[in-house]
Chain A
Amino acid sequence: MRGAAKSGIGSKLLEVRNLEVEFDTYGGIVKAVRGVDFSVDSGKTLAIVGESGCGKSVTVQSMMGLIPIPPGRITSGSALLRGQEVLGDTIIEGKEIRGAEIGMIFQDPMTSLNPTMTIGNQIAEPLQIHRGYSYRQAFNEAINLLDMSKIPEAAKRAKQYPFEFSGGMLQRAMIAMAISCKPSILIADEPTTALDVTIQAQILDLMRDLQSQTGMAIILITHDLGVVARMADEVAVMYAGKIVEHGTVEDVFYRSAHPYTLGLRAAMPTNDPANQHQLNPIEGSPPDLFSPPPGCGYCARCPWAMSICQKSHPEHYYLNSGHYSRCWLHHNDSEIKPNQLSFN
């Protein structure tokens, strides 16, 4: 399997370092992504979690060259795919990044497919572009891909238009399209948000199956912690344009260290009958990214905020080799220790 052989530090499939993205708007400059680091390995799934506007979509779209420039601008950082710089470049090692190296699926399959083009043609398109397939070859491969995505009667379906498909089927077709050129990474930007719950599970299972077949890495962007628990190997929690906690899914869920992660977990509904209390929302709203605070972005909403939190941003505090949290509570001088934090 391509890229899967290498492992260890420095040989990750994709490594993003200190990515910063800004947008010029009428109101001023929005600092949407303020220094993001993460990496992902072949065959693994990284989930990027955070609320709306925290910069998770911008992070991946800037890698794909999908943010409009101008008004968008990548001010610093790098993203290395197998050691090659991706930012600002569309082709590495003779292969196009978009479509061939990285496939992407989006939130709303209903609007993400061209309404006047057959599903088969849309899936065949990247094969024609990146592989030089003839129209007929590409269309036949598109039928195979639909079949792989578990769409019944694929040959007939390929000739149909998006309006003849249901939402779940469209997302399957989107996945078939994204993996058509066997990309090494699949970016799924809230792939199940627009679908109902039973379909959500099917789509996630499909992504998992295809991952085990092809060995591709998945970057999953979501705000649904249930989806994260089901899919992810690693989790990056984003808040106000920064990653505030990062670790394996067990670390982040069972040994949550950042107050924001704790807040998210407390806000999740539970089906424990002994625990039928009201949900605990996180009060307040995220900071204004026109003028991001000098300190921790979360301090205005944090019940344990200290005076230092407003002044400067905390560094990475590693709790174990892969698990870090960016919170002053981990500092030696802090009176409260994060493992003592609880909402109950």
Chain B
Amino acid sequence: MFLFGLKRLLQGVVTVWFIATATFFAMHNVPGDPLLNERAGSEAIKANLESKYGLDQPLSTQYFIYLRNLSRGDFGISFTQENREVNDIIREHFPVSAILGILAIVFAATGGVLFGALTALYRNRLPDYIIMILVILGISVPSFVIAAMSQLMLVGINNMAGSTILPVAGWGTILHMLVPALVLGLGTMAYLTRLMRSSMLEIIGSDYIRTARSKGVPPSRIFAKHQLRNAILPVVTVLGPSIAAITTGGFVVELVFAIPGLGRYFVQAVQQLDYTVIMGTTVFYGAFLVFMVILVDILYGFIDPRVRLEK
């Protein structure tokens, strides 16, 4: 198990290196120059930046300077915002995005597993039909539409109550997080519900469930001990990519709900060609996702013994 984790971690480092390299060369192929912008700093700042990043040197030298800084965990200084280090931007704003994302994932996973199992157990009966209609809505309506509609609904609720029950936008308390996390997790939850339903249906008809029934295992115990753990495996598999979907989807939701997350800086940096911020946030997000996927892989090993023993 330890070896398995170590191996996956090494693979992860290689993956992050690929992401860093691809981002670097992609950035340097974008036309334009952040230092020619009318908002750029003085000649002295320009000269300092050029010498620090070797911007007057050939691309290969710049690449190695970039990698060296990266390996020290230094993402550099913003080109457009004076005296802001990329590390500071990440440190200040990533926790907000992370809390939102984790909340959304927890919501999506628990909801997906629960509703999926429910629809399978009530297959072709009313609860199944109702949940599956909602699932199709959740998958096909984009998150910014749901975000705007939920804000409208919150306004209505607050107006009716005469006071602010749930804030419409902003950040700070758990009440601020609830609705954005729900909206952010909804699409993934719908997807996981469908996955869980089909997986559960397959398990319900399987031979070992028949064996369990022939042993006289009561239905509640069959559900908890035999069905759930086996049915959850495909859900856990897609949890890694789902985290990716949720964190990238988070940009839009953060914008609609005016949440001071990392997404805003990411978009802003791309618009202003802020090399260091773009590369820094991309590599950071990439590394985060790779880490989450590894975590899910290890988790999978705990649930499925067949994976655990493959060295």
Q: Does B28 touch A at the CB level, under 8 Å?
A: no
Q: A112-B210, A163-B306 are in contact. Are A117 and B216 (CB under 8 A)?
A: no
**Chain A residues closer than 8 Å to B84, beta-carbon distance:** none
CB B234 to nearest CB in A, in angstroms, measures 13
**Chain A residues closer than 8 Å to B210, beta-carbon distance:** 66, 106, 112
Q: Is the CB of B206 within 8 A of A111?
A: yes
CA distance A338 to B309 in the complex (A): 61
Q: Is the CB of A116 within 8 A of B211?
A: no
Q: A116-B230, A161-B305, A163-B306 are in contact. Are A111 and B208 (CB under 8 A)?
A: yes
CB A128 to nearest CB in B, in angstroms, measures 9
Q: Is the CB of A112 within 8 A of B211?
A: yes
User: Among the listed stretches A17-25, A44-52, A97-105, A306-314, which one makes contact with chain B, having 4 or more residues with CB under 8 Å of it?
Assistant: A97-105
Q: Does B91 touch A at the CB level, under 8 Å?
A: no
Q: A116-B304, A161-B305 are in contact. Are A100 and B216 (CB under 8 A)?
A: yes
Q: Is the CB of B208 within 8 A of A115?
A: yes
Q: Mark B218-259, 1 if CB is under 8 A from A, else 0.
A: 100100011001100100000000000000000000000000
Interface bin, chain B: 20 to 34
CA distance A99 to B212 in the complex (A): 9
Q: Is the CB of B207 within 8 A of A126?
A: no
Q: Is the CB of B304 within 8 A of A104?
A: no
Interface residues in A209-266 by Cβ distance below 8 A to B read none
Q: Mark B190-224, 1 if CB is under 8 A from A, else 0.
A: 00000000000000001110111111111001000
CB B197 to nearest CB in A, in angstroms, measures 18
**Chain B residues closer than 8 Å to A126, beta-carbon distance:** 215-217
CB B105 to nearest CB in A, in angstroms, measures 23
**Most B CB atoms within 10 A — which of A116, A125, A164?**
A116
**Chain A residues closer than 8 Å to B230, beta-carbon distance:** 114-116
**Chain B residues closer than 8 Å to A113, beta-carbon distance:** 208, 211
CB A163 to nearest CB in B, in angstroms, measures 5
Q: Does B303 touch A at the CB level, under 8 Å?
A: yes
Interface residues in A260-284 by Cβ distance below 8 A to B read none
**Most A CB atoms within 10 A — which of B207, B208, B216, B304?**
B216
Q: Is the CB of B226 within 8 A of A129?
A: no
**Chain B residues closer than 8 Å to A104, beta-carbon distance:** 211, 214
CB B270 to nearest CB in A, in angstroms, measures 45
Q: Is the CB of B216 within 8 A of A98?
A: yes
Q: Is the CB of A129 within 8 A of B218?
A: yes
Please give me the residue from chain A that is nearest to B216 by CB atom: A99
**Chain B residues closer than 8 Å to A98, beta-carbon distance:** 213-216
SS class of chain B's interface: helix, strand, loop or mixed? helix
Contact of A129 among B211, B216, B233, B305 (CB under 8 A): B216
**Chain A residues closer than 8 Å to B214, beta-carbon distance:** 64, 66, 98-99, 103-104, 106, 178
Q: Mark B284-307, 1 if CB is under 8 A from A, else 0.
A: 000000000000000000011110
**Most B CB atoms within 10 A — which of A96, A103, A114?**
A114
Q: Mark B43-78, 1 if CB is under 8 A from A, else 0.
A: 000000000000000000000000000000000000
CB A245 to nearest CB in B, in angstroms, measures 28
Q: Is the CB of B211 within 8 A of A106?
A: yes
CB B160 to nearest CB in A, in angstroms, measures 46
Q: Does A130 touch B at the CB level, under 8 Å?
A: yes
CA distance A114 to B221 in the complex (A): 13
CA distance A186 to B243 in the complex (A): 49
Q: Is the CB of B215 within 8 A of A125?
A: yes
Q: Does A177 touch B at the CB level, under 8 Å?
A: yes
Interface residues in A149-198 by Cβ distance below 8 A to B read 161, 163-164, 174, 177-178
Please give me the residue from chain A that is nearest to B230 by CB atom: A116
CA distance A163 to B309 in the complex (A): 11
CB A98 to nearest CB in B, in angstroms, measures 4
CB A50 to nearest CB in B, in angstroms, measures 21
Q: A66-B210, A111-B208 are in contact. Are A116 and B216 (CB under 8 A)?
A: no
CA distance A309 to B122 in the complex (A): 46
**Chain B residues closer than 8 Å to A96, beta-carbon distance:** 216
Q: Is the CB of B216 within 8 A of A114?
A: no
Q: Is the CB of B208 within 8 A of A112?
A: yes
**Chain B residues closer than 8 Å to A178, beta-carbon distance:** 214-215
CB B145 to nearest CB in A, in angstroms, measures 39
Q: A111-B206, A111-B207, A115-B230 are in contact. Are A177 and B212 (CB under 8 A)?
A: no
CB<8 Å pairs between A and B, sample of 30: A64-B213, A66-B210, A96-B216, A98-B213, A98-B214, A98-B215, A99-B214, A106-B207, A106-B210, A106-B211, A111-B206, A112-B208, A113-B208, A114-B230, A115-B304, A116-B233, A116-B303, A116-B305, A117-B225, A117-B226, A117-B229, A125-B212, A125-B215, A125-B217, A126-B217, A129-B217, A130-B216, A163-B305, A174-B211, A178-B215
For the A-B complex with A64-B213, A111-B207, A163-B306 known, give 12 more contacts whose Cβ atoms are closer than 8 Å: A64-B214, A97-B216, A106-B210, A111-B208, A112-B208, A112-B211, A115-B306, A116-B233, A116-B304, A125-B215, A126-B216, A161-B306
Q: Which residues of B contact A (CB under 8 A)?
A: 206-208, 210-218, 221, 225-226, 229-230, 233, 303-306, 309
Q: Which residues of A contact B (CB under 8 A)?
A: 64-66, 90, 96-100, 103-104, 106, 108, 111-117, 125-126, 129-130, 161, 163-164, 174, 177-178
Which 3 residue pairs of A and B lie closest in terms of their CB atoms, listed nearest first? A99-B216, A98-B216, A111-B207
